[in-house]
Amino acid sequence: MNGPLLAASGLCKGFTLHLRGGLRLEVLRDLDLAVSAGECLALSGPSGAGKSTLLRALYGNYRVDRGRIFIRHEGENIDLAAASPETILAVRRITLGYVPQFLRVIPRVPAIDIVAEQALARGAEPAAARRSAAELLERLNIPPRLHALPPATFSGGEQQRVNLARVFVCRWPILLLDEPTASLDSASRDIVAALIGEAKKAGSAIVCIVHDAPLSVAIADRVLPLAPLRAAA
């Protein structure tokens, strides 16, 4: 089956601000996008333009008000905007990887177990999953002495690298990345750019929020600019 792995058409999403007298705030209006295998689409725009809202909608965390979101999942096009919670979870297990802005995990779980979890969910043997997790953590400059510690004890940059490792430990047909290099130094940003490049070569379709101009140049095939919308009365 040819065509994009991820395509959205006519997306509209808004929020009602009940503490502001029911003010309706439009965030996305009639937005279209399509991303094919091996392609990275970068989202750009100022704070409040709806970039993170768009990623959360594409992941199924937010239900859109109108529009369709097609995900190529196991050879079929699934409309995530209309899918059941069970279907959304199935798509997330196999097809749709997501790196949010911040690492949110169960406290006191060691970093290596957090990273190995996804590989285990895919059926990897425990020893192989932990080995892959350890190798990726080391590649991201998280030394072995930290692997058995919970990320709550880490710096912000270290937590972000664990956040990336827990997704990049597996191969995903589609990747959604929300500011993947936030809090990272230049050396770590180069490593992340290499990981994204490898995912593209493996055929992943990627949507990425990027504020780092050099990173955008390094990874993006196209850029989709977003701008804040006016509030509706």
**In the structure, what pLDDT confidence band is assigned to residue 233 with cuts at 50, 70 and 90?**
very low
Residue 107, pLDDT score: 78
Contact present, 16 and 22 (Cβ < 8 Å): yes
Do 127 and 220 lie in one domain? The reply is no
Mean pLDDT of 15-19: 77
Q: What is the pLDDT of residues 84-119, one digit of tens each?
A: 999 999 999 999 999 998 888 777 899 999 999 989
Say which DSSP state 19 is in.
G
CATH of the domain at 64: 3.40.50.300
Task: State whether 177 and 166 are in the same domain.
Answer: no
| Residue at 56: amino acid letter | R
Residue 43 parent element (H or E): strand 40-44
Q: Which domain holds residue 117?
A: 104-170
Give residue 231's pLDDT band: very low, low, confident or very high (50, 70, 90): low
- Which are the contacts of 122, defined by CB distance < 8 A and separation ≥ 6? 93, 94, 170
**H-run or E-run covering 131:** helix 126-139
Query: 145 and 91 share a domain?
Result: no
pTM: 0.92
